[in-house]
Structure 1
Amino acid sequence: MLWQSYIKGFKAYLKLERSLSNNSVDAYLNDIDKLAQYFKSLDEEPALNNIKAADIKSFISWLNELGMQATTQARVISGLKAFFTYLMLEEVVDKDPMALIEGPKLSRKLPDMLNIHEINQLIGAIDASKPEGMRNKAIIEVLYGCGLRVTELTELKISNLYPQIEFIKVIGKGNKERLVPIGGVALKLLDIYINSIRVHMNIKKGNEDYIFLNRFGAKLSRISIFNLIKSLAESIGLKKAISPHTLRHSFATHLIEGGADLRAVQEMLGHSSITTTEIYTHVDRDYLREVITQFHPRS
Structure 2
Amino acid sequence: MDWNAAINDFTHYLRMERAMSANTVEAYLNDMAKLRQFAELQGIPPNEITTQQLQDFLVWINGFGLSAHSQARILSGIKTFYVYLSLEHGLIENPTALIQPPRLGRKIPDVLNVTEIDKLIAAIDLSTPEGMRNKAMLEVLYGCGLRVSELVGLKVSNLFLDVEFIKVEGKGSKERLVPIGAQAIKYLRIYLDEVRIHQKINSGQDNFVFLNRRGSPLTRVMVFIIIKELAKSIGLKKKISPHTFRHSFASHLVEGGADLRAVQEMLGHESITTTEIYTHVDREYLHAVITQYHPRS
What TM-score do you get using the length of structure 1 for normalisation? 0.95
Query: Which residue is 2:96 aligned to?
Result: 98
Distance apart, 1:242 and its partner CA:
0.1
Matches within 5 A, 1:193-232: 193-232=191-230
Distance apart, 1:225 and its partner CA:
0.2
1:65-98: CA deviation from partner (whole Å, max 9, x where unpaired): 1111211111100000000000000234210010
Matches within 5 A, 1:42-61: 42=42, 45-61=43-59
Matches within 5 A, 1:240-255: 240-255=238-253
Read off the aligned partner of 1:39 and give its amino acid letter.
Answer: A
Read off the aligned partner of 1:9 and give its amino acid letter.
Answer: D
Distance apart, 1:18 and its partner CA:
1.0
The answer as to 2:24 corresponding to 1:24 is: yes
1:9-68: CA deviation from partner (whole Å, max 9, x where unpaired): 1111111221110110111111111101011223xx234332111100000000011111
Change in 2 beyond 3 A, CA 1:296/1:119 = closer
Change in 2 beyond 3 A, CA 1:287/1:242 = closer
Rounded to whole Å, the distance in 1 between the matches of 2:67 and 2:81 is 21
SS at match of 2:140: helix
Query: Which residue is 2:116 aligned to?
Result: 118
Matches within 5 A, 1:30-41: 30-41=30-41
Matches within 5 A, 1:79-94: 79-94=77-92
Q: How many residues align?
A: 296
Rounded to whole Å, the distance in 1 between the matches of 2:198 and 2:294 is 58
Query: Which residue is 1:181 aligned to?
Result: 179
What TM-score do you get using the length of structure 2 for normalisation? 0.96
Question: 1:48·1:93 contact (CA, 8 Å) conserved in 2?
Answer: no
SS at match of 1:178: strand
Query: Which residue is 2:233 aligned to?
Result: 235
Identity, % of aligned positions: 58
**Correspondence for 2:125 among 115, 127, 139:** 127
Query: Which residue is 2:68 aligned to?
Result: 70
Rounded to whole Å, the distance in 2 between the matches of 1:296 and 1:290 is 13
Read off the aligned partner of 1:32 and give its amino acid letter.
Answer: M
1:81-135: CA deviation from partner (whole Å, max 9, x where unpaired): 0000000002342100100111111111122210010001011110000121110
- Over aligned residues, Cα RMSD in angstroms? 1.7
Query: Which residue is 2:11 aligned to?
Result: 11
Rounded to whole Å, the distance in 2 between the matches of 1:98 and 1:197 is 54
Rounded to whole Å, the distance in 2 between the matches of 1:235 and 1:250 is 20
